[in-house]
Amino acid sequence: MAHAFRRRPDGSLACRLDGEEKAIIAQVAQETADLIRADLGIDAGGDALRRAAESEDPLRRLEAEFAGREARTPSDSAVRRLFPAASEDPALAEEYRRLGQRDLADGKIADLRRVMSILDAAGGGHGEVVLDEDEALSVLRALNDVRIVLADRLGLQRDGDFDTVRMLQQIGEQVEGAESSGDDEHVGSDIVIAVYELLSWLQESLLRALD
């Protein structure tokens, strides 16, 4: 069972998670990173593109510059929440995406990878997860992005919507004679709700420890 983050005497921040909780958080972080890459068309060629941009060869730098100008408008509703249009003017919105979307996506993916790396270093069993200040900020950003994706999948638009979803879930659990054909969907929804609650609690816990 998870234990809240606390500030340690050396200034680091630590919480305790069991192996299943670590695995779940790492999995949803990986899935969020994969979703961003797939929806925005970011593939393994991105590393090669960055190397070309840093090359001493002016032609390679020019090719990288033009390649980096392409910015795909998100098609997935969750990714649209992560990368909203910066302007109501379509032309301006497209220009903002061209100039900044890739850097923003790279930052989000880096934070998500950092969470996975931190959890991997903490080991698979029940134990402490220890963060320094910089890691804590990365974790906060990554948790927020994963929560945005989960909120989209749950159909949440506002913070108060989650209370409504939770209430409907509890009512559904009390209703007898539910058709078996809906069992898989119900279980899947329960899992998403549980993960959303865990991440929300963990994020709040880390914020309080930072304060």
Domain boundaries, the chain: 3-210
The phi, psi pair for 124, rounded to 5°, reads -85, -20
The phi, psi pair for 158, rounded to 5°, reads -135, 165
CA-wise closest residue to 141 among 108, 105, 113, 100: 108
Q: What is the pLDDT along the chain (211 residues), one digit of tens a residue?
A: 778 999 999 999 999 999 999 999 999 999 999 999 999 998 745 555 565 556 677 766 566 555 555 678 999 999 999 999 999 999 999 999 999 999 999 999 999 999 999 999 998 888 899 999 999 999 999 999 999 999 999 888 766 666 666 665 555 555 545 554 455 555 567 888 889 999 999 999 999 999 8
The pTM is what?
Answer: 0.79
- Give the number of other CB atoms < 10 A from CB of residue 86: 15
Q: What order do you get walking across the sheet with 127-131 strand by strand?
A: 3-7, 13-17, 127-131
